[in-house]
Every structure is written in C-alpha cells, then in structure tokens.
Amino acid sequence: MANPLEQLMACTTVVADTGDIDSIIRLKPVDATTNPSLILKAANTPQYAALINQALAPIKQRPTAEQLPAALEAVSVAFGAEILKHIPGVISTEVDARYSFDIAATLAQARRVIAQYRALGVGRERVLVKIASTWEGICAARLLEQEGICCNLTLLFSFAQAQAAAEANATLISPFVGRILDWYAAKTGETYTPTTDPGVCSVKAIYDYYKAVGHETIVMGASFRNTGEIRALAGCDKLTIGPALLDALALESEALFAQLSAEQVNPRPRLAALTEAQFRWQLNNDAMATEKLAEGIRLFAADLEKLEIVLLAKLAH
C-alpha cells in the first residue's frame, strides 16, 4: 500500500523546498525551489564547496566592484543547474529581495539569470524566476512573462496579491501557508486545526477562485508548519515542502486523500482587474499580509547579506 507521501504525489505535484542536493536525489520530487535562506544554508556546508568554487572562478577575473553581485547570481544559478540534473521538472531561482520595489532592477537580474542558465545548457522552460509579490514585482512578472520568462510570485499572503498575479499572467504563485498561521497564532493565541488553519483557508480560497474563473496561473502552497496543513491542501496544483516534512509524511500511517479538485469548483464571474491603487489599498487593509510581506523581504535580504560575507571570503582566496 502506498504511504501518504506517495498518495500525495498521486494527486499533487510535489516540489522540494531545499538547496540540499542529496535530499533532492533521495526524495525524487518533480520540481524544486530555492531561496536566499536555503542557498545560505547550503553554502555553509563543506560538501558544496567545490560547486561554489567552480561558480566563483570566472567571477574572480572581473573588476572588484562587479564581483559580489555577480557572485550571488552565479552561485544561485550553479545550485539550480545542479539540482536540475536530478529532477524532471523546473527549478525556481529567486531574484534579489532588495529589488522587491524596483521593476527595472528585477527585470535586469531576471534576464541575467536566464542567460546564465542558458550558458550552462539549461533552457528557460526549466526555470522559474522567483519574485516577491509586491506591486512592482507583479509588474515585472507581467513584462517577463511577455518575453517568455516564466515567473514564480513568492511571499504571497493575500487574495489581492493572488488576483493581481493571475491578471499579470504569472506562471505560478507561492502562497505561504505556515507564515500566515504564525501571524494568526501569535495574534490570537488560538490553536488551529488543519481545517481552520488561516493559511490553509487562504490557499483554498485562491485555488477555488482561480479554477472557478479559468485563471491558468499555478497555485503552489509553500511554507508548511506541519503535515496536517499538507494533507488539507492535497490536490492543489503543486506543494513545495521541506525534506523534514516530506520524510514525516512518508512515515505516517493514516491514508491521504485529495481535498482540492478543480472539477468540484463551481464557475463564478471573474473580478474586475485590480488597479495599482486598489491593490495597495486591499494589501494595506490586510495587516497580516502587509506585515508578513515586509518581514519576508527583510529576512531574505538579511540572508543575502550573510551570503555575501561567505562569498567575499571565498573570492579573496
């Protein structure tokens, strides 16, 4: 009999949320996602020293002022390209969180990332560029999608972000289940079940709306805190899950069944497209989404700065 992880894989595309290549080889997911925090963790692991040194070797020939930003991109792409050797699907590679409010900088880095993958023999069809779901990030994603560069709009906490992302024709969104739960648990002191979990409810609402109105943007639940959240979202287009929870799910004895299904969603009218003012107002009125988006950007930026210190030391040798 299939274990719950195998049952999940039968109804949802499972995506590994890790930069650890050994875990990806062992778990055999379809896709994988990375972010600055995961790359930082991997960069501090001795087993990946050779991969990083190889990525940095050509960077050392550049003028000093150009080395650090180029190193960040080169290492992220190196990890992504290595991961792609072990999965059949796509890799998500994140643009610099410090560009979250800069359309031009986001566009430029996304194009550089795709070009670097191409130089390593990886086609753009196997890469999703991860961009924070700010208004500027969504605008950048709209332009990139028109160029044939697929985008993963991440740090997504609200329906307004999801609506705007779909209207920008983003390939995929990553609503953060666990971080939504964290906020509500801290504010209310309540204990939530998988069916009342605010993060789960948020993803279900987005999924149902997308399917009801025919949006093609993929919904990929992310940032899980427990296997109950995963079970409650079984059947979602994709779920990106860390190795620890994938392992935990595989060891559970209770059978897993799909909870979400496009066939069970009733059609409904599509909402009028959001203007920038409407988007900002709706986001502003959602305290959880406003706070968690800002916090997420800050945390990713902080980990980028830590990664810069690691890479600077390696560039000096």
Instruction: Give the active site residues.
Output: 130
Rounded-to-integer distance, Cα 90 and Cα 81, Å: 10
152-183 pLDDT, tens digit each: 999 999 999 999 999 999 999 999 999 999 99
Q: Which residues of 94-112 are buried (b: 16+ CB within 10 A; e: fewer)?
A: bbbbebbebbebbbebbeb
Q: Looking at the 3D structure of the chain, how many domains does it have?
A: 1
H runs (alpha helix) in 91-134: 103-119
Please give the pLDDT value at position 36: 87
Please give the pLDDT value at position 1: 78
Q: How confident is the model at residue 27 (pLDDT cuts 50, 70, 90)?
A: very high
Q: How far is CA 225 from CA 182, 245, 270, 277, in A?
A: 9, 8, 32, 33
229-247 pLDDT, tens digit each: 999 999 999 999 999 999 9
Containing structural domain, residue 99 = 4-316
H runs (alpha helix) in the chain: 4-11, 21-27, 36-43, 49-56, 64-84, 103-119, 135-146, 159-167, 177-188, 198-213, 227-232, 243-251, 276-284, 287-315
CA atoms within 13 A on the CB side of 281: 5
Rounded-to-integer distance, Cα 233 and Cα 290, Å: 24
Instruction: Return the number of other C-beta atoms located less than 10 Å from residue 208's C-beta.
Output: 17
116-146 pLDDT, tens digit each: 999 999 999 999 999 999 999 999 999 999 9
Across-strand partners of 151? 129
52-81 pLDDT, tens digit each: 999 999 998 888 888 999 999 999 999 999
SS3 149: coil
Please give the pLDDT value at position 117: 98
Please give the pLDDT value at position 154: 98
Q: What CATH number does residue 248 fall under?
A: 3.20.20.70
